[in-house]
Structure 1
Amino acid sequence: MIIFGSRGYVYQLAILTLVCGHCGNPSAHTLRKYVTKFTLFFIPLFPFSTKFATQCTFCGMEQRITKEQAEQLQAQAAGVQPQAQGYGQPQQQPGQQPYQH
């Protein structure tokens, strides 16, 4: 007798402060990764489904997002801004003092 099936896992990747598209409040949003794995004899072998979503902590609304959007949000949460899109601070030359207001 072979016992097989699937099991779901939820990973919290980051917590970001965003404006909710549903309630309009600036609040914390959790970035989550949902992975479904094929199991054989209760041992998870390989993932066959991966989904990403953000959830507003104020109203509870969950929105599915693409893998690329999730990677961008995760980089934003880590403080790394993608340079290809023109974000971030200009790089400072060695020995140069930062500009003070």
Structure 2
Amino acid sequence: MIIFGSRGYLYQLAILTLVCGRCGNPSAHTLRKRVTKFTLFFVPLFPFSTKYTTQCTFCGAENRATKEQAEQLLAQSAGQPQGPQQGYGSPAPQQQGQNPYLQ
């Protein structure tokens, strides 16, 4: 008796800040890759399906993406600065001529 089937694997590739097409909010979106593999005797052998999706964390809307779109979004996420955006959590600007280290 031969036991075969398939199994899905879900990988989270990146978290991006995008404007949602459904709710219109600029929110975090997760870029995910779902790979379905053929299994024989519960051992995954080779992938036969790969799908990319983005999901809005605000409203939960999920959109399919092509491999090229996913690679482009991944390249954009690598170029985004990590940490808070400029102006958020930064100290108040000093007046010209004052040195904050000499006080």
Q: State TM-score, norm by structure 1.
A: 0.78
Gaps of 5+ in 1: 81-101
Q: Report the count of equivalent residues.
A: 80
Cα deviation, 1:25-80, whole Å, max 9, x if unaligned, reads 00000000000000000000000000000000000000001000000000000118
Distance 1:62 1:39 in 2: 28
Instruction: Report the counterpart of residue 64 of structure 2 in structure 1.
Output: 64
CA distance in 1, matches of 2:23, 2:43: 41
**Inter-partner Cα distance in structure 2 for 1:79 and 1:44:** 34
CA deviation string 1:71-93 (max 9, x = no partner): 0000000118xxxxxxxxxxxxx
Flag as ranges the 4+ runs of structure 1 deviating above 3 A.
none
CA distance in 1, matches of 2:12, 2:24: 23
Q: Report SS of the residue matched to 2:75.
A: helix
C-alpha displacement of 1:12: 0.2
| 1:43-62 superposed matches below 5 A | 43-62=43-62
Q: Percent identity?
A: 85
What secondary structure is seen at the aligned counterpart in 2 of 1:60? coil
Please, what is the CA RMSD of the aligned residues?
0.9
Please state whether the residue corresponding to 2:77 is helix, strand or coil: helix
Matches within 5 A, 1:1-101: 1-79=1-79
For 1:43 and 1:75, the matched residues in 2 are separated by: 33
Between the aligned partners of 1:8 and 1:14, the Cα distance in structure 2 is 19
**Aligned to 2:21, what secondary structure does the other structure show?**
coil
Q: TM-score, length-normalised on structure 2? A: 0.76
SS in 2 for 1:2: coil
